Amino acid sequence: MILADYEIKQLANEKGLIEPFTEDNQNIPNTLGTGLSSFGYDLSLSEKDFKIFQYIPGQITDPKNFNENQLMSVNPIRDHTGCFFILPSHSYGLGVAKEKIHLPFDSIAIALGKSTYARSGIHCNVTPAEPGFEGYLTLELSNSTPQDCKVYANEGICQLIFLVGNTCSVSYRHRGGKYQNQKQEVVMSKVN
């Protein structure tokens, strides 16, 4: 089953599902909503860490042997519209969620892009957070447009949908998942 707003709120308050938890930031003028929604929770992008893939002639990206030199750290920019990063045209960036999540052993969360970003050509990869995961999610963002785009920090970037089933026999925590206990920083691709 999919968790509804009141169930997400209860798990956040009683079990620390999401920290910090924001009940209602969906209708603040000129911002991309964050916090609780009807059947999900809109995570916000942290301003603490954002990296963009850069082209290095002759380099091949290898998820089994990731070269961190292929990523360039960028600083947030502030103006009258807010705090943001520039994601260059036809590029890919990695950010980190502002909120920490702590999933129970009977739940999985799936990150989905927000329609406002999707309509602007920015896509957030669909990724799962498995039962027992704890930490800050690294977020993968793609700009499919021919223009540079703003990606706003401290505002909604993707929505987590929480699915609940039977308690699993071996959780992500129990098997020592490679991304367990991520800090609030971009974590690169790695293999156990």
Active site residues: 140
Residue with token string 């993968």: 140
- Whether the CA torsion 180, 129, 24, 46 is positive or negative: it is positive
Query: Residue 25's beta-bridge partner residues?
Result: 34
| Contact between 131 and 172 (Cβ < 8 Å) | yes
Task: Name the residue among 55, 50, 19 with its Cα closest to residue 140.
Answer: 50
Q: Which two tokens stand for residue 171?
A: 């959780």
Task: Name the residue among 91, 101, 86, 192 with its Cα closest to residue 138.
Answer: 101
- CA–CA–CA angle 173, 177, 178 (5° rounding): 145
For 147, the 3-state DSSP assignment is: coil
| Contact between 40 and 13 (Cβ < 8 Å) | no
